[in-house]
Amino acid sequence: MKNKAIKDENKIIEICCHNISYYYDNGMEMPGSDIEHVQERIVDGCNQGELNALIRKGKDMEEMRGWWSIERD
């Protein structure tokens, strides 16, 4: 199944007592700034959303995009 393959590639992190499934286009780990972003969104009542992180590439900054969602058992 395509959806299961995508889900298997996601990483899991615990935020606000929830297991959060997430990915970035380049497969990176979630930086602290996005952990805070997800915490704020959960407090606001969201259960999923977009991720945008700026990472340094040499002298330049590059935007990494991804998605997060609360895992439901």
User: Residues 28, 52: contact at Cβ < 8 Å?
Assistant: no
Instruction: Kindly indicate the confidence band of residue 8, based on its pLDDT and cuts at 50, 70 and 90.
Output: low
User: Residues 26, 19: contact at Cβ < 8 Å?
Assistant: no
pTM for the whole thing?
0.81
What pLDDT sits at residue 4? 42
pLDDT in tens, 28-62: 999 999 999 999 999 999 999 999 998 888 999 99
Number of structural domains (the chain) is 1
Task: Look at residue 19 and tell me whether its pLDDT is greater than 60.
Answer: yes
Task: Look at residue 3 and tell me whether its pLDDT is greater than 50.
Answer: no
Domain of residue 14 covers 2-70
